[in-house]
Amino acid sequence: DPKIIQKPKYLVAVTGSEKILICEQYLGHNAMYWYRQSAKKPLEFMFSYSYQKLMDNQTASSRFQPQSSKKNHLDLQITALKPDDSATYFCASSQDGTDTEVFFGKGTRLTVV
Amino acid sequence: DAKTTQPDSMESTEGETVHLPCSHATISGNEYIYWYRQVPLQGPEYVTHGLQQNTTNSMAFLAIASDRKSSTLILPHVSLRDAAVYHCILRVAVNTGYQNFYFGKGTSLTVIP
């Protein structure tokens, strides 16, 4: 059973619209993250949260807003969608500690038309 | 995070042992060496990590040079399922409760039947 659930698996959106990508983890982790991977590009770190607080934001655009309603949830709201936002968005989580591994979800593939 | 250098691609035949090199000449004393792998349309998967000593687990053996300026991920008896992009990443060991990973292009491993 997948321990990190991302919904939906595939998403098609119209330019200018708003979408929310869902992420839930059942690993009991305190830290959660969002990464983005555009076609044929390396995985790009976006946000990190620890105990539901924003720790790092490497996303230049304010159109991307993480939302943490519960400790094991970290959704990603994207507003004013652009075709360049088309990518696979991966949610991840990890336990506290200095040398623990980060677990990744299967991703949400977003296509903006 | 300090940079790592990996070959863009490598090729192996099923059943062989593969040595994936990673150079990290400017590594700091408190940086761990992590290895992740990613297959198309999937999130990255943790392989192994180490600080100074060689490490081994069910997936791979990590050989770390005595000066820590390079490491080699050794995959014994590779199968077609080991075909993936392998990422060597450095991570500072700070007790912040979260772990940001910065991925590069990695090494694309092709396994020939």
pLDDT in tens, A22-49: 999 999 998 899 999 998 788 999 998 8
Q: What is the mean pLDDT of each run of 10 residues along chain B (113 residues)?
A: 86 97 91 92 92 94 96 97 95 68 91 96
Q: Which amino acid is at B56?
A: T
**In chain B, which residues touch A (CB < 8 A)?**
32, 34, 38, 41-46, 49, 51, 91, 93-106
The pLDDT, as a whole number, for residue B3 is 85
| Residue A106, SS3 per DSSP | coil
The pLDDT, as a whole number, for residue B104 is 87
| Residue B82, SS3 per DSSP | helix
- Pick the residue from chain A with its C-alpha nearest to B42: A106
pLDDT band at residue A101 under the 50/70/90 scheme: confident
Q: Average pLDDT over chain A, rounded to whole?
A: 92
pLDDT band at residue A73 under the 50/70/90 scheme: very high
| Two tokens, residue A68 | 């943490």
Pairing of strands A10-13, A108-112: parallel
- Pick the residue from chain B with its C-alpha nearest to A9: B41
Pairing of strands B70-75, B61-64: antiparallel
Look at residues B10, B2, B13 and name the one whose alpha carbon lies nearest to residue B73. B10
Measure the CA–CA gap between A6 and B10, rounded to whole angstroms. Answer: 32
CB A11 within 8 A of CB A81: no
The pLDDT, as a whole number, for residue A99 is 59
Chain B residue numbers touching A97 (CB-CB < 8 A):
95, 97
**Buried (b) or exposed (e) across A33-55, using 16+ Cβ within 10 A?**
bbbbbeeeebbbbbbbbbeeeeb
CB B37 within 8 A of CB B83: no
Question: Best interface-test mutation with B: which of A55, A98, A106 has the largest number of B CBs within 10 A?
Answer: A98
Question: Best interface-test mutation with A: which of B100, B103, B108 has the largest number of A CBs within 10 A?
Answer: B100
Q: Which residue has the tokens 């539901």?
A: A52
